[in-house]
């Protein structure tokens, strides 16, 4: 995501516009992460999970909730999803003639 931040800083000089773009990026990442969790979470837990996310979005207990109900390594598939969305956004917005560096997974 650092590469994406550098791209925005380089191309958007207005601080207010940059903040708006960062907010949009955060929303995109949030929606993608919630979506990838819902894909793995048994359907009968979806409503409770979504209620928790909407009422307490920054509560770290959400990860515990998901860990208890999903077989896969939660942190790993979230990290992969964030990496993918970062890569996709870079590919869409980076100038074609610039060499892109892959976002760091760690």
Per the domain annotation, does 99 fall within a domain? Answer: no
Rounded CA-CA distance 96/67 in Å is 40
Per the domain annotation, does 98 fall within a domain? Answer: no
pTM of the predicted protein model: 0.80
Scanning 1-106, the segments in alpha helix (DSSP H) are: 2-11, 15-40, 46-55, 61-69, 74-93
Q: Tell me the mean pLDDT per 10 residues along the chain, length 106.
A: 84 91 93 96 97 90 94 94 92 65 51
Per the domain annotation, does 40 fall within a domain? Answer: yes
Domains identified in the chain, total number: 1
Per the domain annotation, does 105 fall within a domain? Answer: no
Per the domain annotation, does 26 fall within a domain? Answer: yes
Per the domain annotation, does 60 fall within a domain? Answer: yes
Q: Domain range spanning residue 46? A: 2-93
Predicted confidence at residue 57, as pLDDT, reads 81
Per the domain annotation, does 104 fall within a domain? Answer: no
Per the domain annotation, does 23 fall within a domain? Answer: yes
């Amino acid at each position: 995501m650092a590469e994406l931040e550098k791209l925005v800083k380089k191309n958007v000089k207005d601080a207010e516009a940059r903040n708006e773009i960062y907010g949009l990026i955060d929303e995109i990442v949030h929606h993608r992460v919630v979506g990838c969790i819902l894909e793995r979470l048994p359907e009968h837990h979806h409503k409770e999970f979504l209620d928790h996310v909407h009422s307490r979005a920054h509560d770290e207990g959400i990860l515990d909730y998901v860990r208890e109900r999903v077989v896969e390594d939660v942190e790993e598939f979230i990290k992969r999803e964030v990496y993918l969305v970062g890569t996709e956004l870079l590919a869409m917005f980076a100038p074609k003639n610039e060499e892109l560096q892959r976002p760091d997974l760690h």
